Chains A and B, each alone.
Chain A
């Protein structure tokens, strides 16, 4: 059975919601990079201090 005949409004709404999710996830990815950059720098500094 093919689900092509889904109610008219559902596809545009689904598409919009998916795009919004995509944008939020993109924003969170940038946060990931920022956290990674900052913590790696901090952990490296701590590592050097402990090594001394």
Chain B
């Protein structure tokens, strides 16, 4: 029994190391291929400028909405090709008024910007489906209310989809943390975001041409979205859901790595916990809905994505929880052993095996540091001694938070399945 548990444990460790190494190799190749400098002051004109409707779903976002709308209106894109729809979705603050005040400024007079006060259901997906009906653009661009795009973000997104308009149904850019110097939590979130954007996204795109639509800073072909029935109303993670839908149709979601937006991340544990639990819960639902595609005739990218998600969210998580539980029980038994010598530890590894396990753990820890530091080195101003120290500390602190979040999300999902009721509510991320 314990022999087979050992085999399962070692295979789990190896598989997670292999997945990390493969993605990291892809990310490193991508970084090497894109080390050349882009002179953003002298960008060549695009082959054509399709009309883009930028949609900004906003629910009580008075605190941040002006900055975001200003950044959108200052995008380096012909003004007659840019339509902006700002949805004040079930707001009970001054979000809509803030944007109307902005429209009165001389510099923004005559711009194609509409403020729509919405009272419908469906959350962000509902807003995007509403926009789908009235948007004039060939492409829909989406920016969350806290995500201010960099001036050339839309230019780079459009440039990417135009490389292969029939195959690339969407293009997504990178999001940067604008409040990362706020506290320990935002520092750690920043490390995670830099790593996700610069290793995970680039690695998967470089090796497999797999992209995932993030919640913000992306454009998507309107006709294709309409053909797949739009967004899944009320989905907790509408971005993951539509990514799977597009890939099922054989379309690609292209990475436009130079398109950058600056977004605000949670500054308190409470806000972080609720945001991440919603993401985890939403992703679980999408994985469960797509699990059947592991064994049917859908494109291989879907299978690879489902496999990746199943491993990360279910298999590896379960392994970490079990190993942590065994570790704690062992410590408890070891302390009892001092009083009652006849009591044995649950699992005690003999000489060479324990060394091997330790080497694998050190390897995994080193790989974690390596991955973060390669990502940091490729980002302007991020390869600092402070970030290096945060990277070490985050392994033992911030990274462990994910276990709590995923277990809580799993519990929520199981409870909802058993009771037949949906207890998980859409939680709006608090702004600061």
Contacts and interface: CB of A to CB of B under 8 A. Distances in A.
Interface in A1-23: 1-7, 10-11, 14-15, 17-18, 21-22
Interface string A20-31: 011011001101
A20 to B, nearest CB: 10
Interface in B1-40: 2-3, 6-7, 10, 14, 17, 21, 24-25, 28, 31-32, 35, 37
Nearest to B380: A43
Given A3-B347, A40-B383, A18 B356 contact: yes
Interface string B365-390: 01100100110011011010000000
B356 A11 contact: yes
B21 A32 contact: no
Given A21-B17, A25-B367, A31 B28 contact: yes
B7 A10 contact: yes
Interface residues of B, number: 39
Contacts of A7: 3
Nearest to A39: B377
Contact of B383 (A3, A11, A18, A39): A39
B350 interface: yes
Contacts of A36: 373, 377, 383
A13 B7 CA distance: 11
Nearest to B359: A18
Contact of A14 (B10, B346, B363): B10
Contacts, number: 89
Nearest to A40: B383
Contacts of A28: 21, 24-25, 28, 370, 374
Contacts of A15: 356
Contacts of B28: 28, 31, 35
B113 to A, nearest CB: 32
A1 B348 contact: yes
Question: Is chain B's binding surface mostly helix, strand, loop or mixed?
Answer: helix
B370 A1 contact: no
A37 to B, nearest CB: 9
A29 B370 contact: yes
Contact of A3 (B14, B31, B349): B349
B344 interface: yes
A24 B21 contact: yes
A6 B356 contact: no
A21 to B, nearest CB: 6
B2 A17 contact: no
A21 B366 CA distance: 11
Contacts of A11: 352-353, 356
Contact of B350 (A2, A29, A35, A40): A2
A3 B370 contact: no
Given A14-B10, A43-B381, A3 B350 contact: yes
A32 B377 contact: yes
B179 interface: no
B352 A3 contact: no
Given A25-B21, A40-B383, A18 B377 contact: no
B152 interface: no
Given A18-B356, A31-B28, A3 B377 contact: no
A18 to B, nearest CB: 6
B17 A46 contact: no
A11 B353 CA distance: 7
A4 B370 contact: no
**Top 4 closest pairs, chain A to chain B, by CB:** A4-B350, A36-B377, A31-B28, A35-B377
Interface of B: 2-3, 6-7, 10, 14, 17, 21, 24-25, 28, 31-32, 35, 37, 344-353, 356, 359-360, 363, 366-367, 370, 373-374, 377-378, 380-381, 383
7 contacts: A1-B2, A1-B345, A2-B348, A6-B353, A10-B7, A11-B352, A32-B377
